[in-house]
Structure 1
Amino acid sequence: MKRLVLIDGSSYLYRAFHALPPLTNAAGEPTGALFGVVNMLRATLKEKPDYVAFVVDAPGRTFRDELYPQYKANRPPMPEELRSQVEPMCRIVHALGIDILRVEGVEADDVIGTLAVRAAEAGIDVTISTGDKDFAQLVRMPADGRGGIALVNTMTGSRMDSDAAVAEKFGVPPHLIVDMLALMGDAVDNVIGVDKCGPKTAAKWLAEYGSLDGVIAAAPAIKGKIGENLRAALERLPLNRQLVTIRTDVPLPYRPDELCLREPHVEELRALYRHYGFNQALKELEAGQLAGNGGVAAVAEKEPARARGSGFVAPAAGPAPAPADPARAAPGHYATVLERAQLQALVARLRQAGQFALDTETDSLDPMRARLVGLSFCVEPGQAWYVPVGHDYPGAPVQLPLEEVLAALRPLLSDPAVRKVGQHGKYDLHVLRRHGVEVAGYADDTLLQSFVLNSSSGRHDMDSLARRWLGYETLKYEDVAGKGARQIPFPQVRVEDATRYAAEDADITLRLHRVLTPALAAEPGLEKVYREIEMPLVPVLARVEANGVRVDVEELRRQSADLSRRMLAAQQKATELAGRPFNLDSPKQLCALLFEELKLPALVKTPKGQPSTNEEALEAIADLHELPRVILEYRSLAKLRGTYTDKLPEMVDPATGRVHTSYHQAGAATGRLSSSDPNLQNIPIRTEDGRRIRRAFVAPPGRKLVACDYSQIELRIMAHLSQDPGLLRAFASGADIHRATAAEVFGRPLEAVTANERRAAKAINFGLMYGMGAFGLARQLGIGRAEAQDYIALYFSRYPGVRDFMERTRAQAHERGYVETVFGRRLYLEYINSRNAAQRAGAERAAINAPMQGTAADIIKRAMIDVDAWLAGHRARALMILQVHDELVFEVDEDFVPALVEEVKRRMAAAAQLSVPLVVDCGVGDNWDEAH
């Protein structure tokens, strides 16, 4: 079946503009959006559609303006930085041989809708490339000789091509999308929906009443404030439906099958690519590979689950897979090093280059247990080597002995004057250290370069970065090792296939480095964050991970037994309350019991409108019946046992007798470190049971654990950023900040503040940093919403600088699309100008919180770097073993504790110069709980 791709040009341009950092070419002209569009177009052309068109809005009014003169009245003008990229974008699209379609009096959406439906009716499969949710109303599967209509979002890699896919995303099938949009409205287009009606409410109504007409008919019976809002909006809902419906009957001067791809204007493309510095696109053009091999793809906000460069241990070894597809050309010349002379020549070449990309291949994801299978190196794009040392399948070529290879490479890898570049290189540092090679001169990490440039732009693994920055589709692990149960471990991958895979890793790493380095250099503030915080932290984290922490396995087993006994008691209590046995772990049985038999109200619903039994749902009804509280207790106990007391003993490394967590610098968009395997950031400390877990983290004989924690660091950062005189005064005095806040808010002396008033002040202090409103505060304090609103108003009257800071931050976020920490780290806010009110509100909350949370992250990272440098001379006496939020934990010789506490407190307090002092609290104990 023939295929037509319809590109939503405005969507492409705006998405690229907000997704990528503000790049410029050598002439200083903005190129970020243009770069993204070019990569997405190359991705589209790679798929070789039969027909393709780039559709944009024509200037002037449309039929919607006639229906509703206020249509799009609130939409801000296009930023000048983006406007300047429109004309070159159109030139490149035209030079690529793609038709640009504009129809006067009709929006681009309607042109796309009409072409899509006509093509599908003619038996052509249609793909609409867009990020606009409105197009979901057009989705349909192919049937009866007709083509399907699918949506592809190249920014997220998502595809919707069926009723089920649309329903999973939006809660309603395609034929109800228009009705949902009519109810929700669209703030960007100034389509005013039902006040406070978001996607969940709209989907719930449509599921219950069948259609917009059904909702309108049922409006008199819908209770509560939302019902009042619906009735107030009834008159405008029919108009809304007209405004949000994409027309599919627009008269057009062309047919879908006339939109064939024309021959490209190669000379014009060459000139444009050179002018705007699109080097990868230019190389592909010169090589005759116009379509490229990928596009801008950004999907998640965390580091890859499988770091490129590490092998993978299959559940069971099977026969070797077929060789990698020979039709897929490698991006350069890759050589396998099997002879001693080749190795010597390679070492000489690497030293002569002075800088090279490095990657390791192993047999395990766990860097503390992985064995080397090979190493790859690259000195120039397209020129890379793979040195296999551990491939052991039948017929494998004779490889150089591991020790001989390491002996040859050790002087080079340990030389700080020779710069090494990696992608998620902390893994490689661990592997090489365990094989007797201490790497020095680790100078650049492409994962961290990408993360600092734009932490919110999507994933930062090699495959995603290659698509986004190079327009290149990398060889996947599955391509050389197979899939599923037949996947083989890396030592059994054929050397020739491993060479292509591993050498490509090093090659792409170096290519990314050469693209990302000038992009960072164009942003001096971000480059400083990268050079002074993120890169120096890599070896520090590697040392903390390698140090590990001792755990008392017997203590954990005792806790597991106790938790099991209490879980059983909770089960018995729940059975007694229910009057019959049931499975506490079954949401279906819980729903039937709570909402059908006991008739408790279902106050929280799932995205599909069904009663929820999650923690929030059970908390909401816990005051109405004892059973939900017992179920919550059972779940809390089960989570502690399953996540920690049962699992931690299994994670003790037999070689060290310790647990070694992994820290992720690119794990949170704000810059905060996260940890995994095990996740030590999420051990609950608000309950006695959670604190007991920390008792199992112990010091060895003759040593103590020392925990050093920043006191109220984010509130102190709030005082610094807001410069509110009241907050500055309170912190300068050294008073209890929550008591001081309560005294200000409630107008009474410090000594007269009650416990409840302090609790309210604490809730406000912390809640405001996370964008909490009156509703959230009321629920947390157990008071009425009006009273909570009075508290907030009173707070702002006493601390007007805080209110001004929040308003100023929101305004800057809307204007610039990002916020910054004290040290210049940026958080780009994808949805800050979203049409969706809920998304926009969430982005505004993030805008307020990110400067504080991100600054706190920067401060503790700076402290870790400084403390680690001091510890270099005392490693026999003290180790840094954990970082958890705003806390550092050390394992220390007993007689060295006073010296360490004094030095660490001083260095942590000096990690930032704020308008208020940084205070560090330190505790000492035989276990983590005692020290905390």
Structure 2
Amino acid sequence: MNSQSTIHNPIILVDGSFYMYRAYHAYPPLTTQNGQPVWVIYGVISMIKSLITRYQPSHMAVIFDVSGKTFRDDLFKQYKSNRIKIPDDLSIQIIPTHKIIKAMGISVLNIPNVEADDVIATLATFYAQLNKTVLISTGDKDMAQIVSSNIILINTMSNIMLNPTEVEKKFGVPPTLIADYLALVGDRADNIPGVPGIGKKTAQIVLNQIGNLNILYQNLNNILQLNIRGRKKIYQALLINKELAFLCYKLATIKIDVPLQESDYKLLIQEINTQDLILLFTQYEFNTWLTDLQSGKWNNTNKYEKKIISTAYTKHANTKIIQNSSYNNLKLNNNSNYIIYNTATLKHWIKQNYHKNHLILNIHSDNSNIFTANILGLCLSLYNIYINQYIYIPISNNIQIPNQYNNKNYLSLKNVLLNLQPILENPAVVKIGQNMKFNYSLLKRHNINLSGKIFDVILEFYILYGTTNYQNIKRFLNKETFNSILNFQQSYDNYNNYIVKEIKNIYQESLYAIQLILAIFDLHQILWPQLYSNDKLKKIFQEIEIPLISILAHIESYGVLIDKTLLCSYSMELNVHLNTLQNQAYQLAGTSFNLDSIKQLQEILYKKQKLPILKKTPSGSPSTNEEVLKKLSHKYPIPKIILKYRSLSKLKSTYTNKLISMVNTESNRIHTSYNQTRTATGRLSSANPNLQNIPNRNHDGRKIRQAFIAPSHSVIVSADYSQIELRIMAHLSRDFKLINDFLSGKDIHTTTASEIFVTSLNLVTNEQRHQAKTINFGLIYGMSAFGLSKQLSVTCYEAQKYVDRYFQRYPGVMQYIQHIKDNVYKYGYVSTLEGRKLYLPNIYSKNLSKKKGAERAAINAPMQGSAADIIKKAMISINYWLKQDDIPVQMIMQVHDELVFEVQNNFIDTAIKQIKKLMEECFILDVPLKVDIGVGKNWEQAH
């Protein structure tokens, strides 16, 4: 790969120690007039300037070795023992070099107790995971082991670049085998001995034909089958020197997990410190550079020119003020910002800006309910390249007018929307904002159809990083992204903390509103290029999440019909049950007490009844949690009553009473709100009320579902993916038997039971099938034998036997689980089939419980996340079908792997056939997707 290869704006990491030595030997020994050596300083800075000129990096760091021992010295005392002491005339030039690099605005890193290679590899891996191109300038062949599609090595003396293909050409093995290769052949530069008798050709053959060091030693006899001279001697050499080989491997393997400070990741090139450079260039007599500096020709080439104006607004006079969260310092530049009070001004602004094709929009409302929210104001800006004008339009909703504006006539919402409608509905105008589903729904309520490409910065961040909690994933964010999301969050908080039902100060409100749209603009310009450069994530954004906005908005607006009479009746029935349970508990305890009081319950169970204390709370009190009560209920009656009481009490408070109160009086329906960015796996969540947690596994819970009814002349149709996560596991693991079981149409739980309990298929009992179901789902959720033993109420020994038999039948599943564990520790995230990244920052936690929890989550996340992507694609396919004609079908709920519909009686058969077809064909796996369909007058009957 030659120097002409097109690499633009990479992150550059420079091996500073390598540069120092190369300059020391390659440049003529220049000195100042008083004899101070400066040729190394000159050489290093020249090479750095050349890199900046050629590649125009946005981020750059120069990393130096620090004197002192590292972990490799502890492993092998002779490590680098052949290195000569740093010459004095080189040593004296180190600190001046550091000073000049820092004054150039470039990060200098000196991390003790680790080598510069390890720091470079850690940074490179971090940025590569963010889909950044990383260019490493070094002469150290060890670094070849981290080369990837995003990490490239360059030798600036020869201008030769090494990508994965070039690494394999040069060393005869791919980057993934470089450490194994060096372990076998050794590295003279670092005094790594290697395995005696193993040369380069031999190492290449055995590694390429057999595998890495671990695989090689697991299959050492395979060497005797190779068509290679001296294979017996090679076999003996490897056999005798196994311990040495693995020691050399440890020495040669570069660390990619050096613990660094947050500041060490902040590699954005800063403005040069002209004053410091003048002093330094004068002191070391770099007269040409001094002249360039003073004439304005010296810069960071010179300074990175951004292709997108991601922080364009920071160049505006009022931005520094707007970014300040203190209201007392906030002011508006009247040339750029307007509070609009009359129609004439609004029309004039629209006429001036109508040709612009990007709209930043934020709607200020008094609450987040799309049916009751009043629009109090709109803040927006139309722009082509960067924002240079923004307006705030207060709406006349009984506003308390501040004194300085008491002569203003505020516009009505109808008037404002009438004038903005051509822009809001123009498909050629890109719409950018946050919480765009709410904006879409609110405008729809006022007969405005928000059209055109839509960008939601919260969705953008969520798709890139799998969360909206930026603090949890700081380690995965570059400086620019972190600062932008931090600024957005602060602006969002400032803005929302000020939302009140009556605006008391229009001026202050407008300031916070403008602050927020500027933050939205900046964040979009930072995040969208990251999304755009990743084809899979871009597809998820454009083809799944954005189309889902209007679909979810429609589902929310349409709602679910509720039988209030049934809910009221059931609520009273629950009251009777609760009173009965209460009286039973009183009789058994010999006294009355508050069943909802943990303190009184502890008194009854442990002091009066003398029940055994199985577990204590962190404060030292005996526990009364569900797990403890379940164990106690096997022998004692009161805990069993308490469990039943709690279950029914929750049904009453959380569902019957709450659902009744949330029925919309106009529509007689419940209107939930779906959130696309709440879960870690991409699943939708539901709130106000949460329809995804309504129980369906017991009689009492299923009675709640009877209240979800179809209108007259219609039915409820439930379409539920069958065992979708197990099917995804079959696809991901490529396990032959698991795939074959599904393709053969076998009942997977019965088949598993037959294997685990060593019995024929026709003799499997319902209990055994139920246990096998627990095992099937438990293991793909990363459950341990201990966890399984508790689920099945068997010993750990028995549970471990079941686990072993399961993986004996499905070895591909075990291999996949191990692969996932390796990857999550390496990258910090796992991916769905669509490429959605699911970050698990706790995988690096020092808390063992959190680390193990993250590991379990990593095993299941690709399946749950893929299932979420699949049902979203199904919703989009079905919605497209429904829009083709006036089809008498309404999608009314999404609950995990289930879609629920209202279907008119005369269309049931057609609807069932088409819904099933679209859901089963929306995504192709190695095993077929299967959808179970149910029909009924209510949700309980249909499911």
TM over 0.5: yes
Paired residue for 1:27, among 2, 5, 9? 9
Report the residue type matching 2:392 in the other structure.
Y
Equivalent position of 1:472 in the other structure: 487
Aligned residues: 681
The 2-side partners of 1:827 and 1:470 are apart by 18
User: Residues 622, 709 of structure 1: CA spacing in aligned structure 2 closer, same or farther, 3 A cutoff?
Assistant: same
User: Residues 330, 340 of structure 1: CA spacing in aligned structure 2 closer, same or farther, 3 A cutoff?
Assistant: closer
Return the structure number with greater relative CO, CA threshold 8 A, min gap 6. 1
- The 8 Å contact of residues 742 and 760 in structure 1, kept in 2 or not, is answered as yes
- The 8 Å contact of residues 717 and 852 in structure 1, kept in 2 or not, is answered as yes
Paired residue for 2:712, among 694, 698, 701? 701
Paired residue for 2:362, among 341, 359, 362? 359
Q: Report the CA distance between 1:875 and its aligned residue.
A: 4.9
**Secondary structure of the equivalent of 1:872?**
helix
Equivalent position of 2:187 in the other structure: none
User: Residues 349, 879 of structure 1: CA spacing in aligned structure 2 closer, same or farther, 3 A cutoff?
Assistant: farther
In the alignment, structure 1 residue 415 sits paired with structure 2 residue 421: no
1:575-594 map, 5 Å: 575-594=586-605
Equivalent position of 1:117 in the other structure: none
Larger Rg over CA atoms: 2
Report the residue type matching 2:273 in the other structure.
H
The 2-side partners of 1:655 and 1:470 are apart by 40
1:604-619 map, 5 Å: 604-619=615-630
Q: Report the CA distance between 1:911 and its aligned residue.
A: 1.4
User: Residues 822, 372 of structure 1: CA spacing in aligned structure 2 closer, same or farther, 3 A cutoff?
Assistant: same
- The 8 Å contact of residues 340 and 391 in structure 2, kept in 1 or not, is answered as yes
Equivalent position of 2:679 in the other structure: 668
Deviations 1:479-522 (A, max 9, x none): 67978xxx841x42322222222233333222221111111122
Paired residue for 1:390, among 392, 396, 410? 396
Equivalent position of 2:341 in the other structure: 338
The 2-side partners of 1:283 and 1:93 are apart by 29
Q: Report the CA distance between 1:26 and its aligned residue.
A: 4.2
Equivalent position of 2:466 in the other structure: 455
Deviations 1:114-161 (A, max 9, x none): xxxxxxxxxxxxxxxxxxxxxxxxxxxxxxxxxxxxxxxxxxxxxxxx
Structure 1 window deviating more from structure 2 (279-288 vs 735-744): it is: 279-288
Report the residue type matching 2:788 in the other structure.
L
Report the residue type matching 1:472 in the other structure.
N
1:647-726 map, 5 Å: 647-726=658-737
Equivalent position of 2:273 in the other structure: 265
- The 8 Å contact of residues 273 and 279 in structure 1, kept in 2 or not, is answered as no
Equivalent position of 1:371 in the other structure: 374
Deviations 1:6-59 (A, max 9, x none): xxxxxxxxxxxxxxxxxx99422279xxxxxxxxxxxxxxxxxxxxxxxx9994
1:862-873 map, 5 Å: 862-873=873-884
The 1-side partners of 2:101 and 2:485 are apart by 18
**Secondary structure of the equivalent of 2:377?**
strand
Paired residue for 1:828, among 819, 832, 839? 839
The 2-side partners of 1:570 and 1:274 are apart by 75
**Structure 1: unaligned runs, 5 residues or longer:** 1-23, 32-55, 74-86, 108-262, 296-323
Q: Report the CA distance between 1:101 and its aligned residue.
A: 11
**Structure 2: unaligned runs, 5 residues or longer:** 1-5, 14-62, 80-94, 116-270, 278-297
- The 8 Å contact of residues 396 and 411 in structure 2, kept in 1 or not, is answered as no
Equivalent position of 2:806 in the other structure: 795
RMSD between superposed Cα atoms in Å = 3.9
Deviations 1:264-319 (A, max 9, x none): 93789984995396977897699799999699xxxxxxxxxxxxxxxxxxxxxxxx
User: Residues 480, 714 of structure 1: CA spacing in aligned structure 2 closer, same or farther, 3 A cutoff?
Assistant: closer
In the alignment, structure 1 residue 757 sits paired with structure 2 residue 763: no
Q: Report the CA distance between 1:407 and its aligned residue.
A: 1.5
Equivalent position of 2:916 in the other structure: 905
Equivalent position of 1:84 in the other structure: none
User: Residues 422, 880 of structure 1: CA spacing in aligned structure 2 closer, same or farther, 3 A cutoff?
Assistant: same
- The 8 Å contact of residues 447 and 460 in structure 1, kept in 2 or not, is answered as no
Deviations 1:198-257 (A, max 9, x none): xxxxxxxxxxxxxxxxxxxxxxxxxxxxxxxxxxxxxxxxxxxxxxxxxxxxxxxxxxxx
Deviations 1:723-752 (A, max 9, x none): 111111111111211011222333433212
- The 8 Å contact of residues 338 and 399 in structure 1, kept in 2 or not, is answered as yes
In the alignment, structure 1 residue 275 sits paired with structure 2 residue 304: yes
Equivalent position of 1:507 in the other structure: 518
User: Residues 745, 725 of structure 1: CA spacing in aligned structure 2 closer, same or farther, 3 A cutoff?
Assistant: farther
**Secondary structure of the equivalent of 1:472?**
helix
Structure 1 window deviating more from structure 2 (726-735 vs 402-411): it is: 402-411
The 1-side partners of 2:460 and 2:791 are apart by 40
In the alignment, structure 1 residue 566 sits paired with structure 2 residue 581: no
Q: Report the CA distance between 1:609 and its aligned residue.
A: 4.3
The 1-side partners of 2:620 and 2:70 are apart by 36
1:198-217 map, 5 Å: none
- The 8 Å contact of residues 739 and 761 in structure 1, kept in 2 or not, is answered as yes
- The 8 Å contact of residues 706 and 931 in structure 1, kept in 2 or not, is answered as yes
Equivalent position of 2:139 in the other structure: none
- The 8 Å contact of residues 25 and 276 in structure 1, kept in 2 or not, is answered as no
Paired residue for 1:851, among 834, 850, 862? 862
Paired residue for 2:931, among 914, 920, 925? 920
Report the residue type matching 1:814 in the other structure.
Y
Q: Report the CA distance between 1:834 and its aligned residue.
A: 3.2
User: Residues 840, 496 of structure 1: CA spacing in aligned structure 2 closer, same or farther, 3 A cutoff?
Assistant: same
Q: Report the CA distance between 1:821 and its aligned residue.
A: 0.7
Q: Report the CA distance between 1:412 and its aligned residue.
A: 2.1
- The 8 Å contact of residues 375 and 386 in structure 1, kept in 2 or not, is answered as yes
Q: Report the CA distance between 1:432 and its aligned residue.
A: 0.6
Equivalent position of 2:238 in the other structure: none
Q: Report the CA distance between 1:388 and its aligned residue.
A: 1.9
Report the residue type matching 1:275 in the other structure.
Y
The 1-side partners of 2:844 and 2:897 are apart by 32
Equivalent position of 2:506 in the other structure: 495
- The 8 Å contact of residues 753 and 772 in structure 2, kept in 1 or not, is answered as yes
User: Residues 63, 748 of structure 1: CA spacing in aligned structure 2 closer, same or farther, 3 A cutoff?
Assistant: closer
Deviations 1:829-880 (A, max 9, x none): 2122333322221121111101100000000000001101111134561111
Q: Report the CA distance between 1:99 and its aligned residue.
A: 12
User: Residues 498, 411 of structure 1: CA spacing in aligned structure 2 closer, same or farther, 3 A cutoff?
Assistant: same
**Secondary structure of the equivalent of 1:751?**
helix
User: Residues 668, 514 of structure 1: CA spacing in aligned structure 2 closer, same or farther, 3 A cutoff?
Assistant: same
**Secondary structure of the equivalent of 1:696?**
coil
Report the residue type matching 1:509 in the other structure.
I
Paired residue for 2:655, among 644, 647, 650? 644
**Secondary structure of the equivalent of 1:506?**
helix
**Secondary structure of the equivalent of 1:714?**
helix
The 2-side partners of 1:726 and 1:720 are apart by 11
The 2-side partners of 1:289 and 1:385 are apart by 15
The 2-side partners of 1:661 and 1:691 are apart by 19
Equivalent position of 1:182 in the other structure: none
Q: What is the TM-score when the length of structure 2 is the normalising length?
A: 0.66
Q: Report the CA distance between 1:680 and its aligned residue.
A: 0.4
The 2-side partners of 1:101 and 1:537 are apart by 45
Q: Report the CA distance between 1:907 and its aligned residue.
A: 0.4
Equivalent position of 1:842 in the other structure: 853
- The 8 Å contact of residues 495 and 516 in structure 2, kept in 1 or not, is answered as no
User: Residues 931, 816 of structure 1: CA spacing in aligned structure 2 closer, same or farther, 3 A cutoff?
Assistant: same
Q: Report the CA distance between 1:442 and its aligned residue.
A: 4.4
Report the residue type matching 2:354 in the other structure.
R
1:159-198 map, 5 Å: none
User: Residues 886, 473 of structure 1: CA spacing in aligned structure 2 closer, same or farther, 3 A cutoff?
Assistant: closer
Structure 1 window deviating more from structure 2 (776-785 vs 834-843): it is: 834-843
